[in-house]
């Protein structure tokens, strides 16, 4: 199937373009971006112009930041194209619900992607926990914003989500593996004195579930999920790439290894089945944190 990329930035170059190139399901047929292009692929700066020039492109993958994404996705759906949304699927819950309504009326597929759910051991963790009694869960998601978003001020602007840009990855894993849903009880959010979004967050959920997000960690990065049960402790490390049960390696690799290759395989299935997957539970937890969170001012942040 022919697919187009809208937004050719860091995430597109690091993940989307290699995953499409390696997939048996997709052929990259065009790009639309103000700043980037792919050698040998028709490039456009206007979405409507691209769609008019390529009526045979049935799927469009949206890779730009969340704030401008709604209008691009709306126009693609109106043109009868299937749409794949980079995480988070939108800047607000309301616009995500609106896109789903539009897609259902248009009869096209729509996919809110959560790439961390496709890490190698996340499905195995979900399966192991399915019949267990969980006594505690703690998530530690600490990384260096300077490494992953160098100079990208939009992450600290309204709608950029701040530390919830990576933190939502942790929440996507949490909502995938826990056998019962939880909801937020409270949060402490640390905002740099000169920024509009938090750089760190401490979250407390029901059922003794907690999370620690921080965007200031230098050196080795930490993406861990620990779950204590009556049958032992499950530990996901490296964002879900590895899993241990009481310290012993466990779990099997998925059928399609790799986070973004897994997403593109799922999108192919959705398009063929004419289905929609708009699970918004990770974004809902972020919205709850921003509503319930206690604001704490911390040191100014500059690149």
Q: For 54-96, give the DSSP string.
A: -TT--EEEE-S-HHHHHHHHHHHHHTT-EEEEPSSS-SSHHHH
Residues 140 and 39 in one domain: no
Is the four-CA dihedral 181, 210, 154, 118 of positive or negative sign?
A: negative
Domain count, the chain: 2
Residues 171 and 187 in one domain: yes
Residues 146 and 242 in one domain: yes
In a domain, residue 268? The reply is no
Residues 22 and 159 in one domain: no
Q: Are strands 294-298 and 209-214 parallel, antiparallel or unpaired?
A: unpaired
User: Which tens digits make up the pLDDT trace of 89-123?
Assistant: 999 999 999 999 999 999 999 999 999 999 999 99
> What's the token pair of residue 68?
């401008």
In a domain, residue 263? The reply is no
Residues 103 and 169 in one domain: no
Which residue from 55, 59, 71, 63 is spatially nearest to 38, judged by alpha carbons? 63
Residue 106 belongs to domain spanning = 2-112
pLDDT of 230 over the 90 cut: yes
User: Which tens digits make up the pLDDT trace of 135-150?
Assistant: 999 999 999 999 999 9
Residues 167 and 290 in one domain: yes
User: Which tens digits make up the pLDDT trace of 169-228?
Assistant: 999 999 999 999 999 999 999 999 999 999 999 999 999 999 999 999 999 999 999 999
In a domain, residue 28? The reply is yes
Say which of 87, 132, 176, 233 is annotated catalytic: 87
pTM over 0.85: yes
87 catalytic per annotation: yes
Residues 217 and 178 in one domain: yes
Residues 201 and 292 in one domain: yes
Residues 146 and 291 in one domain: yes
Which residue from 76, 273, 296, 24 is spatially nearest to 187, judged by alpha carbons? 296
């Amino acid at each position: 199937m022919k697919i187009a990329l809208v937004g050719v930035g860091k995430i597109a170059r690091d993940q989307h373009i290699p995953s499409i190139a390696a997939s048996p399901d997709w052929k990259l047929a065009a790009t639309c971006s103000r700043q980037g292009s792919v050698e040998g692929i028709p490039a456009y700066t206007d979405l409507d112009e691209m769609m008019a020039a390529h009526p045979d492109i049935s799927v469009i993958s949206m890779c730009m930041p969340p704030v401008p994404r709604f209008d691009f996705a709306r126009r693609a759906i109106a043109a009868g194209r299937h749409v794949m949304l980079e995480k988070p699927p939108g800047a607000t819950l309301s616009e995500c619900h609106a896109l789903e309504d539009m897609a259902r009326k248009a009869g096209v597929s729509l996919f809110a992607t959560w790439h961390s759910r496709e890490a190698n051991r996340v499905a195995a963790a979900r399966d192991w926990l399915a019949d267990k009694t969980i006594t505690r869960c703690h998530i530690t998601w600490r990384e260096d914003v300077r490494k992953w978003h160098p100079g990208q001020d939009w992450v600290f602007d309204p709608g950029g989500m701040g530390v919830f840009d990576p933190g939502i990855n942790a929440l996507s894993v949490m909502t995938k593996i826990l056998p019962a849903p939880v909801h937020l009880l409270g949060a402490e959010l640390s905002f740099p004195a000169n920024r509009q979004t938090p750089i760190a967050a401490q979250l407390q959920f029901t059922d003794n579930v907690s999370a620690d997000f921080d965007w200031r960690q230098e050196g080795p990065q930490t993406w861990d999920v620990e779950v204590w049960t009556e049958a032992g402790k499950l530990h996901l490390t490296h964002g879900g790439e590895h899993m241990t049960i009481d310290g012993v390696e466990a779990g099997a690799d998925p059928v399609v290894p790799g986070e973004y290759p897994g997403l593109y395989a799922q999108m192919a299935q959705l398009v063929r089945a004419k289905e929609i997957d708009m699970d918004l539970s990770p974004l809902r937890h972020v919205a709850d944190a921003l509503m319930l969170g206690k604001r704490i001012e911390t040191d100014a942040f500059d690149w």
